[in-house]
Amino acid sequence: MLQRSFWMKTPNPMTTELPGSSKLSDTSGDTQVPTAAVLLIGNELLSGRTQDSNLAYIANALVARGIRMLEARVIADVPEEIVSAVNALRARYTYVFTTGGIGPTHDDITADCVAQAFGVDLPVNEQAKSILLDYFKSRDIEPNEDRLRMARIPVGASLVDNPVSAAPGFRMENVFVFAGVPRIMQSMLDSVLPQLASGPIVHSVTVGCNLGEGAIASALRALQERHPAIDLGSYPGKSGVLSRVSLVARGTDVDELETVRLALQSMVAELGGSEA
């Protein structure tokens, strides 16, 4: 039986540019495959103080909609670097998702940088301010100047709901700006998924074997050449055991995937191995 699962592929970003992809309309009938990039922002990620879990969540959610995530970057809280990255990614991909840097402190500068990238002002958004004031009042929190910084939204952006802690994210054209706290980020992403274009779903099949990668490399390469529309990969077994390998085939054509799965099983047997 063909066991299906979703996947993410992240090739070299220098080879993934799809001209005009950022102009893809939000309709599932578009013939182009929607693409995405993720921009993780925060010194705490680069120092190792915080371990990111947002990337995997975003990848899984996008893949489930047939959106190819082709690039991910982690950058520091440096304004010029954030502006440069936002502009580069939004021109290259259908969607860009940023996480982190929209809180109340001095180093929360993502909104400022996105506004600069688009060349617009960053005023207090009255709708966002009202949301925050209602939230603070219900919890007897003082709405000081720092907390109200979270109501600053670039001109022209639409708000992204935050059911967890009220402070909204926002969407500016094809750029979605989310909080870095995983629970909040997840709720924000879930709220915007219906807005996104969808593409053909990529499925995968896996054949485990008791052969090392060196034993199967040539045969796997030949199989890949016979099925260029399928992405084939080999991955060491659990705990990095080199004598146990998972052979994974990925593609949108489930019939061809089944053919490749049977070919992988035959390949393992012909090489003197067995499934594991």
CATH number at residue 32: 3.40.980.10
CA distances (Å), origin 51, targets 81, 82, 91, 132, 208? 21, 20, 28, 28, 30
- The pLDDT of residue 241 is 62
Q: Is residue 276 part of a domain?
A: no
Q: Is residue 122 part of a domain?
A: yes
Output the domain CATH number for residue 210.
3.30.70
Q: Is residue 2 part of a domain?
A: no
Domain boundary residue, one of 195, 227, 247: 195
Q: Same structural domain for residues 115 and 184?
A: yes
Q: Same structural domain for residues 66 and 153?
A: yes
- The pLDDT of residue 238 is 64
Q: Is residue 82 part of a domain?
A: yes
The answer to whether the pTM exceeds 0.85 is no
Q: Same structural domain for residues 240 and 262?
A: yes
- The pLDDT of residue 96 is 99
CA distances (Å), origin 142, targets 94, 124, 149, 152, 269? 40, 18, 13, 18, 69
Full domain range(s) for residue 257: 203-270
7-46 in b/e burial notation, b at 16+ Cβ within 10 A?
Answer: bbeeeebeebebeebbebeeeeeeeebbbbbbbbbbebbe
Q: Same structural domain for residues 177 and 70?
A: yes
- The pLDDT of residue 221 is 97
Q: Same structural domain for residues 182 and 208?
A: no
Q: Same structural domain for residues 219 and 169?
A: no
Per residue of the chain (276 residues), give pLDDT as tens. 343 333 333 333 332 333 333 334 333 334 589 999 999 999 999 999 999 999 999 999 999 999 999 999 999 999 999 999 999 999 999 999 999 999 999 999 999 999 999 999 999 999 999 999 999 999 999 999 999 999 999 999 999 999 999 999 999 999 999 999 999 999 999 999 999 999 999 999 999 999 999 999 999 999 999 999 999 999 987 656 667 899 999 999 999 999 999 999 999 999 999 988
Q: Is residue 79 part of a domain?
A: yes
Domain boundary residue, one of 175, 195, 215: 195
Total tally of structural domains belonging to the chain: 2
Cα–Cα distance measured from residue 247 to residue 220, given in angstroms and rounded to the nearest whole number? 9
- The pLDDT of residue 43 is 97
Q: Is residue 65 part of a domain?
A: yes
DSSP state of 100: S
Q: Same structural domain for residues 34 and 113?
A: yes
Q: Same structural domain for residues 168 and 118?
A: yes
How many of the other CB atoms lie within 10 Å of CB of 113?
A: 26
